[in-house]
């Protein structure tokens, strides 16, 4: 049985106004990378979901999953926001599996790719082991 951790839309918003009251002054925030950290505990034979949305700026996203027990098999998938877990895979009208990291060994997985302004990526952490596992997901966004 698979249980969901959370589904949260997180905005990576970058301003366009500076601090000097001049509407044409660009903000340095639009060129700075952003790092987000999530710490789901994924139930045995379960999954966790995290949505990440870029509202104003396109960029490059890298997501890295880490856990401690190398005997456990966890995988990281990056899909569009239309995907849901159906049986042993992904489904949903318009679902697109964009990237995956599915090594059978080790304690980390990583996926990356471009993220268009106004789009959302959905990250799935799937635990193929019987026992729950505490994880850390670090998402880096570079405009």
Q: What's the predicted TM-score (pTM) here? A: 0.78
- The pLDDT tens digits for 37-95 are 999 999 999 999 999 988 788 999 999 999 999 999 999 999 999 999 998 899 999 99
Assess whether pLDDT exceeds 70 at residue 1: no
Q: E-strand spans in the chain? A: 9-12, 34-38, 41-42, 47-54, 59-67, 74-80, 84-86, 89-91, 97-101, 108-115, 119-127, 133-142
Specify the CATH class of 9-142 in words: mainly beta
pLDDT recorded at residue 31: 61
Give whole-number Cα distances, 77 to 74, 89, 108, 137, in Å: 10, 11, 13, 12
Report residue 30's pLDDT band, with 50, 70 and 90 as the boundaries. Answer: low
Write down the domain spans for the chain. Answer: 9-142
Q: Strands 74-80, 34-38: parallel, antiparallel or unpaired by DSSP? A: unpaired
Residue that has been written with the tokens 């710490």 in this structure = 39
What three-state secondary structure class fits 72?
coil
Residue (of 113, 102, 5, 13) closest to 63 by Cα position? 113
- The pLDDT tens digits for 2-15 are 333 333 333 332 22
pLDDT recorded at residue 6: 30
């Amino acid at each position: 049985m698979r249980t969901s951790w959370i589904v949260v839309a997180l905005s990576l918003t970058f301003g366009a106004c500076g601090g000097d009251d001049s509407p044409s002054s660009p903000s340095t925030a639009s060129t700075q990378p952003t790092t987000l950290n999530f710490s789901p505990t994924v139930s045995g034979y379960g999954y966790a979901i995290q949505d990440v949305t870029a509202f104003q700026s396109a960029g490059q996203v890298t997501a890295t999953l880490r856990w401690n027990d190398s005997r456990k098999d966890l995988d990281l998938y990056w899909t569009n926001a239309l995907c849901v877990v159906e049986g042993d895979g992904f489904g949903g009208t318009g679902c697109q599996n964009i990237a995956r990291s599915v090594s059978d060994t080790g304690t980390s997985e990583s996926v990356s790719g471009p993220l268009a302004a106004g789009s959302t990526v959905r990250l799935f952490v799937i635990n193929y082991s019987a026992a729950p596992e505490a994880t850390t997901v670090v998402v880096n966004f570079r405009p």
